[in-house]
Chain A
Amino acid sequence: MFCLGASNFMSAQTVTGTVTDDSSQPLPGVTVIVKGTTTGSATDFDGNYSISANNGDVLVFSFVGFETQEVSVASNVVNVTMQAGIALDEIVITGLATSIKRSNSANAVATVSADDLAGRTPPQTLDGALAGKFTGALVTSNSGSPGGGLSVKLRGVTSINGNSQPLYIIDGVYLDNSSIFSAGLNDVSNASGGGASATANQDNASNRIADINPDDIENIEILKGASASAIYGSRGAAGVIIITTKRGKQGKTKINISQSNGWNEALNLQGQRNWTAALAESAFGEGALYTAAESAGTLRDYEKELFGEKGFISNTNVSMSGGNEKTTFFAGFSRNQEDGIVKNTGYDKSSIRMNLDHKLNDNIKLSLTTNYINSSADRGFFNNDNAGTTLGVALTATRPWDFLLPDENGNYPDHPNNSSNPLQTRDLMTNNERTNRFITGGNIDINLLRTDNQSLKFGARAGVDHFTLTAKVIFPKELQFQRPDQGGVNGVSAISTTTNTNANYSAFLVHNYNTDNDMSFTTQVGVTNQQFSQNIVRVTASDLIASETNIDQAANVNTGQVRLEQEDFGFFAQEEVNFQDKLIATIGVTGDKSTNNGDIDEFFYYPKGSLAVNLSNFDFWGDNDVLNKFKLRTAYGEAGTFAAFGSLFTIFNNTLIDNNVGIIVPITRGNPSISPERQKEFEIGFDAGLLNNRVSVEFSYYLKKVEDLLLRADVATSTGFSSEWKNAGELENKGVEIGVNIKVFDNEDFSWDSNISWYTNESEMTKLNVPTFNLGGFGNSLGQFQIEEGKSVTQIVGTTGPGTPVSVLGDAEPDFQMSFINDLRYKDFTLSFLWHWKKGGDNINLTKLLSDFGGTSADYDGLDVDPDGQIPNGDYRIVNGLFAGNARPFVEDASYLRLREVGLYYTIPDETLDKWFDGIVSNVKLGFSGKNLINVFDYNSYDPEVSNFGGNGLSTGVEVTPFPSSKRYMFHLSVQF
């Protein structure tokens, strides 16, 4: 296969010509190929090309966004006019080194284009922008905190204690998506001090995908399961999200400037009880205080006080693209600033990018991407707490007649019935995450061999992702709960510094062989190497000097350090056979090993195979105008998930007593023979195009099994440990994804594109080799998740009364999700909106219970929680709920229907622009857009999309006084030069 072939032209002539579009503009970069061979060329800056071809040969002209044309060679000049066409020739990536036409792909690879991602409304973070845009995903925002913090679950729960967030790759660089909690927060809130699962992280940290600028992105491909992501081996089980950023295009340098401004406001505030002096008296005996506050005019809605800000948003984006036939570039600069709905919270990000492509000669292509991001997020102080200090918990104890505002000298009164004054905490505390990140990647493609039938390409890729995350948490000594007379530690200042460097290298060979009867064989082999290095240093200082915050300006200093070093090495091989675009079969295998495994030299192998049958390309199909395209596809693949770093070892923790350092056993016992989980996915489906592709339908069914599940299984605590790492279970996810795309209208004046998708997933723990265990909650009387053989992985269980057995009260998996995307265009106006409906899926809502204990729940006096309608809600939840060991009132349906994105734009007509600006300016767009403008849900709190325990693992959907979510209103102006 690698042997050289002799050229077989006897009488080659040079054919030249010009390629133009339908407005007679020359088209540079059009690919020209002699059909059935690998002889190819491309048009230059002026649309001219030249190629070797005989009379009678067929030349194939193809260019993204235009219909491919085939022209027979009759003379030595062939000019062609290309017609703009639908993107059926769209390319999707398959394997690590090759791409394939979407029409030939055997997997349901989802794609999100730049327009879909950020074109409707500017997203706050990249992963948040994915919600509702493709089937098979459950994207949940952990809270409304600015700066992100999301979980993306593709096709159900992939792992219980292992990683369940997908792998993100940007231009070939493996991205780090860690979520690192900041020191200092738990010391004050003591959230992990009493009752919550010890392994959970409740500090509302963001995750690093938030750093990527969505405006830089050209498109995103999502490989949802092992059948597509097998090639990524032990990292691919939770899915792979492949991001491609914008690249330069040949031609005149284009500069694009866009500016968006707007504001955000709370989505769904809960409100107040209908307070009167009589109610204040019966609830707290404070009727007199109420009357006094009423007459002094100091009654205040503290929820509005805390969450009622309108945060100002400003996004500026400048990008430049251009180049000639040898070198093209894309440069972009963005500045995003956003204030949160709570004072002193916000997000500020600057990103600068330079992408360069250079053709050394006809055979060697280089490309480079570089990106620098600097961001700062102020996230407030929310979520679970055992000391009454987080803003949300403090609010539950706050009554409208309490006086919490500062005097003219800035002194805040103590809270009369709580250990902290939320306004004081909000104004004086700091919780800031600052990131400095460099992402750089380079690519070289060399054509080693090119004959008519064969080509051999060598590629090498290198990428580095380096960031420094500095988190600063400061609770000054003036705070009520920091004062020593209140039992405080006189101020806390904590710094967490994380340095993270990931590097990945790969090299591969791709060989292409075409036979005469249009059968092509593509072989790829390659090796990959990834290196990960992370060092987190956390220092917490308490008992601070005056108003200093440096960590040495303190009496007591506590330190901690966690390091991670890992190296993976792998190889892959894949063979793809394409028979006339009718049958496309792929088979491949990836093998990798890692220092993270018990045996660092042991290879784990992940095979894959797939078959796509384009029935509509067969002769027997003929030319059917109704069902013009039909493809059956099936794929199988295996991928893995690594054990968490350190699970091999049982490491002592350190402690201090009376200045003596001591070693104490950890909570989790390590397992020296731990191995990765293995996912096996089978997918089958079809793609159909009806009415000349006016309607296209995509249907997939998948069955995903995960074996050797990594479980942090509970162990009998008399061992001295609470849990132990084991490969000890199997789970299964199966689901259906349906997508329908309809071009309802397509005239010159009016067009309407509609996309409807429906998807569902069901999970089951098929085998559990350890006893049933719980996670992600606070006990059976409040509701928690339970991993049990034969049951749904995401089931929520609890007791329903005194002495009752534990029973299933709900399930966090939605019944189904639907999204409706509509793009309408009328003359120069475009209106585009995305509705997202999640039906089913339950949350554990503990926010209301805490405000019941404070007597401040807005619905305390209602009668809708008691099934008999007799007992007021607040009393019912406390007495008939918690005290009676009945967890039913806390498991709530978290369905929602959201208008996630809507955008209305007006493009100023070209003629008007030419008149005003003499052709300097083009493509001026004005518009208005919004995010989460309409939200319909019955859920009894701020937002059903919430997670107290962060983004990883099983426990999304538990809420304990979170940072409320917000809706955004934005105005835009963009101009192109």
Chain B
Amino acid sequence: MKITKKFNIIILTIGFLAFTSCSLDGGESLNGASTSSISDDLSRGELPQAISGILSDMRDRLNTQVDVQSIMGREYYYFTSSDPRFEGDVVTGNLDNQTFYTTNVWSTRYAAIKEANLALEGLANTTSDFSAQETAAIRGVLNTLKAHELLMVSNNQYTNGIRIDVADPDNLGPIVGYDEALTAILGLLTDAAVDLASGGSSFPFNLTSGYTGFDTPAGFLQFNKGLTARVEAYRGNYSSVLSLLGGSFMNMAGDLNEGVYHTFSLTGADLSNPLFIAQNQEANVRVAHSSFLVDAEAGDTRTNKVTLRDTPREASDLVGTHDVWIYQSLLDNVPILRNSELILLYAEANMVSNPAEAVNAINVIRNAAGLVDYAGAQTPSALEDEILNQRRYELFAESHRWVDMRRFGRLSELPNDRAGDMVPSAVPIPFDDDF
């Protein structure tokens, strides 16, 4: 009988345990906010973090992006003891569609685009008390930044095409060709311009110090117009370029370096400037292509952008005698759009229709670089040569050279130092996206 009693108690205990342990508690996400919290309903409190996320992610892998385009544009070489493909594949033009130089840049730009899309979706679904002006301002900024990132991808993949409609990861839009891509990017920018114009007088979020002077809807609109001018120049619509520049921050008498920048710092989770390398390094170096100094006009102060090394650095039969010395610390800003580029776009847009005005603009740039006024012919082709030349030195190592030479059909003029080297016209579409 004692046994039965004990027995019954045990059975009851097990049953009790079985029932109480039966319902599990938990299973929530512990380690961060989920993306649906933004896209389902963008709140006023989440908005600044979403914007900062996009601004931050626009800097991700900037080094790979700029290095690859600068190598292909024969502006400089990047030698590193940790990855010989920078002196291999990228210089020989044998670009593989599964290697980091193709895949990393594409994926990080699209991550920023995804963040913009999540915020746009959240804005459309928002239950917060944004005013109509605020909503327009937010949308204007998001679409401008999204267009910029799509442009960065388009510059790489060129006629291979890019994907524009990527808001739904389960239903991606098709890969579209270069012209269609530029048209879509233009569409985003012009819609954003309309929104920014009715965006009120201030933003309900912070931009970084890289946007100083452009951190109101009206100021940001100037940035938008400048960027749109660049896109229209790529499309060859020079009259459009001129009217857009009129609404931008282009200022022939102003500081050439005024503009919008990526910022960096060493605090916490912030990024440091990935394009900074100290001078005279051995393991990792960015060395200017020899033609940079050889082709320079005497007295051009922009040759200070490269400095003579103590000893040349050689890798796989490529030699560099000068370090690229544009960014001089881990905290230096990297330009997104500068006044000097706008002035050069102005010159380019006037190249055929108003050569004298084009020369005025060219001279602003030349004089600032310690050069005398332009004295060459004012035919379109001569001006084209001069403008490309000025863009080469003014916008050195800012990933314009390759794009510029390509859009003027002059990639074959770029130098190849070794037999077997080649300048490709486009980066392949990454393997995973090639459908």
Using a CB–CB cutoff of 8 Å, the interface residues on chain A facing chain B are 2, 4, 190, 194-195, 385-388, 393, 396-397, 415-420, 446, 448-449, 456, 458, 485-487, 489, 507, 509, 527, 529, 542-543, 555-559, 561-569, 571, 593-597, 600-601, 646, 648-665, 669-670, 714-722, 724, 771, 773-774, 779-781, 799, 802-803, 849-850, 853-854, 878, 882-883, 885
Which chain B residue lies CB-closest to A450? B3
B409 within 8 A of A: no
10 extra A-B contacts, CB within 8 A, seeds A555-B267, A663-B46, A774-B98: A393-B81, A456-B7, A563-B30, A658-B265, A663-B50, A664-B115, A665-B35, A716-B435, A721-B169, A781-B89
Q: How far is the CA of A246 from the CA of B376 in the complex (A)?
A: 94
Q: Is the CB of B96 within 8 A of A885?
A: yes
We find that the number of chain B residues with CB closer than 8 angstroms to chain A is 95
Q: Is the CB of A780 within 8 A of B208?
A: no
Q: Is the CB of B52 within 8 A of A194?
A: no
Q: Is the CB of B99 within 8 A of A718?
A: no
A864 to chain B, nearest CB (A): 22
Give 5 pairs: A residue, B residue, CB < 8 Å, sorted on A.
A489-B266, A489-B330, A600-B27, A657-B56, A657-B263
What 1/0 mask marks residues of chain B from 137 to 164 whose CB sits below 8 Å from any chain A CB? 0000000000000000000000000110
The one of B50, B92, B172, B208 that contacts A716, using a Cβ cutoff of 8 Å: B172
Q: How far is the CA of A583 from the CA of B301 in the complex (A)?
A: 94
Q: How far is the CA of A230 from the CA of B113 in the complex (A)?
A: 46
Residues in chain B near residue A486, CB distance under 8 A: 278, 281
Q: Is the CB of B34 within 8 A of A194?
A: no
Q: Is the CB of A448 within 8 A of B10?
A: yes
Q: How far is the CA of A664 from the CA of B32 in the complex (A)?
A: 11
Q: Is the CB of A543 within 8 A of B277?
A: no
Q: Is the CB of A563 within 8 A of B49?
A: no
Using a CB–CB cutoff of 8 Å, the interface residues on chain B facing chain A are 3-4, 6-7, 10, 13-14, 17-18, 21-27, 29-36, 38, 46, 48-57, 59-60, 64, 80-85, 88-89, 92, 94, 96, 98-100, 103-104, 106-107, 110-111, 113-115, 117-118, 162-163, 166, 169, 172, 206, 208-210, 263, 265-272, 276-278, 281-284, 316, 330, 430, 432-433, 435
Residues in chain B near residue A397, CB distance under 8 A: 81, 282-283
Q: How far is the CA of A195 from the CA of B272 in the complex (A)?
A: 20
Q: Is the CB of B114 within 8 A of A569?
A: no
Counting chain B CB atoms within 10 Å of each CB, which of A558, A663, A774 scores highest? Answer: A663
B423 to chain A, nearest CB (A): 17
CB-CB under 8 A for A655 and B169, given A195-B83, A393-B82, A883-B92: no
B280 to chain A, nearest CB (A): 9
Residues in chain A near residue B166, CB distance under 8 A: 718-720
B401 to chain A, nearest CB (A): 23
Residues in chain A near residue B7, CB distance under 8 A: 2, 448-449, 456
Q: How far is the CA of A653 from the CA of B30 in the complex (A)?
A: 12
Residues in chain A near residue B282, CB distance under 8 A: 397, 415-419
A851 to chain B, nearest CB (A): 11
Residues in chain B near residue A565, CB distance under 8 A: 26, 30
B32 to chain A, nearest CB (A): 4
Residues in chain A near residue B111, CB distance under 8 A: 664-665, 717, 720-721
Nearest 6 interchain pairs by C-beta: A720-B114, A662-B52, A662-B53, A717-B107, A651-B32, A388-B283
Which chain A residue lies CB-closest to B46? A663
A49 to chain B, nearest CB (A): 24
Which chain A residue lies CB-closest to B52? A662
Q: How far is the CA of A781 from the CA of B99 in the complex (A)?
A: 9
Q: How far is the CA of A569 from the CA of B24 in the complex (A)?
A: 8
CB-CB under 8 A for A655 and B30, given A448-B6, A878-B84, A883-B92: no
Counting chain A CB atoms within 10 Å of each CB, which of B51, B114, B430 scores highest? Answer: B114
B116 to chain A, nearest CB (A): 9
B299 to chain A, nearest CB (A): 31
Q: How far is the CA of A779 from the CA of B107 in the complex (A)?
A: 16
Residues in chain B near residue A657, CB distance under 8 A: 52, 55-56, 59, 208, 263, 270-271
Which chain B residue lies CB-closest to A567? B24
Q: How far is the CA of A52 from the CA of B302 in the complex (A)?
A: 107
Q: How far is the CA of A773 from the CA of B32 in the complex (A)?
A: 28
Q: Is the CB of A4 within 8 A of B267?
A: no
The one of B23, B81, B98 that contacts A418, using a Cβ cutoff of 8 Å: B81
Counting chain B CB atoms within 10 Å of each CB, which of A509, A653, A664, A774 scores highest? Answer: A664
